[in-house]
Amino acid sequence: MPLEIVTVPCLSDNYAFLAHDPKSGETALVDAPEAGPILAELRARGWQLSHVLLTHHHWDHVDGLPAILEQYPAQVVGAAADAHRLPPLDKQVSEGDQFQIGGEPVQVMDVSGHTVGHVAYYLPQSHAVFTADSLMALGCGRLFEGDAAQMWTSLSKLAALPDDTLVCSGHEYTQSNGRFAMTVDPENENLKQRVAEIDKSRADGDPTVPSLLALEKATNPFLRAGDPTIQTHLGMEGADPVAVFAEIRGRKDRF
């Protein structure tokens, strides 16, 4: 039975997520940008927190944790590779590890690039992946630590998940990501349509996260570095997708 997934807006543009198993009552929090909104959501729903899954060590993903743990003695899970710079972990995980939330398997994916050690959590039975600052809606995280090849490998792994996977990413950056995407993929009809829908959602104050993987594959330029139309637009026909990805990422950094 799929877990119930709730998006919790935090800080100015972060998202945390709750994944709740109605049968066992177990509830996982993915990232802890800020305690207040997360504790309020748990209280409003009457859910007991059992796990906290951390994606990476940046302050806007972990700073709310101590105040949350004061209320709920949850098991904290994070990357073994980052244990030295994450809050104290009860469980250290690496690529390929699997554990359970309620009855549901959670698979750990290394998605280094934004940071080296960034992990994603894939829930195959709920058709959801928690990607934080790796794959984002119409974007991807900045390369603070990893290089283009590493991020391209990470994004390619995520792109290989089933099309109906819900991409639960860490920030509301979608509108500006869309404006940038139009500069590298201007003829993409799916992208044009998505950008219009995003503008409407934001005008209505609605989040654009999570998003469907199929739509990311059709519109997110960072997943489309192998696409001939984008390559031609960039004057890089037939180039290695890693080089094309690096060009797109560089242009976004200067955008």
Which residues are known catalytic residues? Answer: 56, 58, 60-61, 114, 133, 171
**How far is CA 79 from each of CA 28, 61, 82, 151, 220, rounded to the nearest angstrom?**
16, 13, 5, 17, 27
Q: CB of 163 within 8 A of CB of 217?
A: yes
CA atoms of 219 and 106, how far apart (whole Å): 27
Residue 171 binds Zn ion (CB under 5 A): no
Residue nearest to Zn ion (CB): 58
Choosing from 21, 41, 60, 104, the residue that interacts with Fe ion (CB under 5 A) is 60
Nearer to Fe ion, 158 or 230 (CB): 158
Least distance (Å) from Fe ion to the CB of residue 170? 5
38 to 67: interface string for Zn ion, x by CB under 5 A: --------------------x---------
Q: CB of 168 within 8 A of CB of 205?
A: no
Going across the sheet that includes 98-101, the strands are: 98-101, 104-110, 119-123, 128-132, 166-169, 211-212
Residues numbered 155-184 forming contacts with Fe ion, rule: CB under 5 A: 170
CA atoms of 32 and 18, how far apart (whole Å): 10
Q: CB of 151 within 8 A of CB of 140?
A: yes
Reported as type and span, the H/E element at residue 98 is strand 98-101
Residue 31 binds which one of Fe ion, Zn ion, none, with CB within 5 to 8 A depending on kind?
none
Choosing from 21, 133, 185, 247, the residue that interacts with Fe ion (CB under 5 A) is 133
Residues numbered 83-122 forming contacts with Zn ion, rule: CB under 5 A: none
Residue 133 binds Zn ion (CB under 5 A): yes
Least distance (Å) from Fe ion to the CB of residue 171? 6
List of residues contacting Fe ion (CB under 5 A): 60, 133, 170
Which residues sit at the interface with Zn ion, rule CB under 5 A?
58, 133
